[in-house]
Amino acid sequence: MPTSPTQSARRFDDLISGAGLLAGAANVIMQLGHPGVGYGVLESTVHSGNLFRHPWKRARTTFTYLAVATTGSDEERAAYRKAVNRQHAQVRSGASSPVKYNAFDPELQLWVAACLYKGFEDSYEALAGAPIPKDRREEVYAASAPLGTTLQVPAEKWPTDREAFEEYWQQGLEKVSIDPPVRDMLLSIAELRFLPPVLGAPFRRFNRFVTTGFLPRTFRAQMGLRWTAKDQRRFDSVCRGIGAVVLKLPRAARQFPLNFFLLDLRWRMRTGRPLV
């Protein structure tokens, strides 16, 4: 029996867990591995969205986007798209920028969305300790397009199936290039240096470790991050241990805090508060 869109969305919904946010810094590195995205963030003059100046607000807007793109309604996605677009309109390369970029470029947004999808897949498989079954993978992928189409990616640009996505992903890896200024910023993110020392310092080594573990080999090489077979065994053990608990939780508990940020978005829409 064919799978309905609602069933496909539910299958994708099943991959979502708060524990997957352990891969957050790795996913940022993957996104910014594309030079246009990396320099767009590094040079951005939208200071209200700067992670190092406003870490809580940056986290809230990012997590809200993930929540609304994966589990929000069409109305909520449209509202969030409008709010984010006002910020993205200010992100364009200047005469002195090393590369040309525009936050409205659908090719750059497609890369960001592809990284988000790959991050959902990779984090779920690490927590589950096993690959997603092939038949389920296609159903999950079929429901993932809103990761891109919630912003500027036309539906026809989203790769048609998981095989087409893999081809796109491999081609994208060939374009990954992280220059020293972007690398320094990304290492600071991996080491939680955007947080006050009292909050970031106790978790600095652990976050760098899991960030490196979640990164595909191409990005580790670009970042100059060392990774051994022993590191991989430790990483696998940590992820499976967390997954053994988290993936058995009721849906609401498993998806916290993303479901909280979706509720926060709905509250902001009702009360007329800024969404971003």
Tell me which residue of 159, 158, 175, 178 sits closest to 167, measured CA to CA.
159
The pTM score is: 0.91
Tell me which residue of 103, 110, 86, 75 sits closest to 262, measured CA to CA.
75
CA-to-CA distance for 67 and 265, rounded, in angstroms?
9
pLDDT tens digits for range 61-72 = 999 999 999 889
Q: Does residue 219 contact residue 176 with C-beta atoms inside 8 Å? A: yes
Kindly state the tokens that stand for 202. Answer: 């106790």
Cα-Cα-Cα-Cα dihedral sign, residues 263, 264, 269, 275: negative
Confidence of residue 2 (pLDDT cuts 50, 70, 90): very low
Q: Does residue 98 contact residue 39 with C-beta atoms inside 8 Å? A: yes
pLDDT tens digits for range 219-269 = 999 999 999 999 999 999 999 999 999 999 998 999 999 999 999 999 999
The most distant pair of C-alpha atoms in the chain lies apart, rounded to whole Å, by 56
